[in-house]
Amino acid sequence: MECIFCKIANKEIPAKIIAENKDALAFLDIEPISDGHTIVIPKKHYQNLSQCDVETLHGVIDLVKQVSNEIQDSSLKPWGINYLSNEGSIAGQIVMHFHIHVIPKYGKAEGFQIGIGNKYLGDLDKIYGELKKHYKVNCK
């Protein structure tokens, strides 16, 4: 299967690359939802964040932070930034290569929107109990 983000990471196809480090690459989204909307990917293929090894994940997050700082310091002057990574098609993942969107915000009704609805929420205490069974470290 052909992965467009692998091709970008390998520089087989053009992209508007704005930054990179040894583990990750950042480029402008070709279908941005705000000015400066950037995608940060690991250079090595991982389908999603959960499958990404820790060292590579650190490289991706370091680049996300660098890109965010550069966007904030630029003449774009966003009011805030959203960070987004979808995992699985049900969550909105279209390209099955782990990536983080860095989405500058210039107004409440622009860019990424939050608060669409909470249709399937369960009891918070039951959810907490279920998840707590799986954690190795107990928080107090």
Active site residues: 99
- How far, in Å, are 4, 35, 78 from residue 106 at the CA level? 29, 9, 5
Element housing 26 (H / E): strand 24-28
Q: Which amino acid is at 28?
A: L
Instruction: Give the integer Cα–Cα distance in Å for 2 and 105.
Output: 32
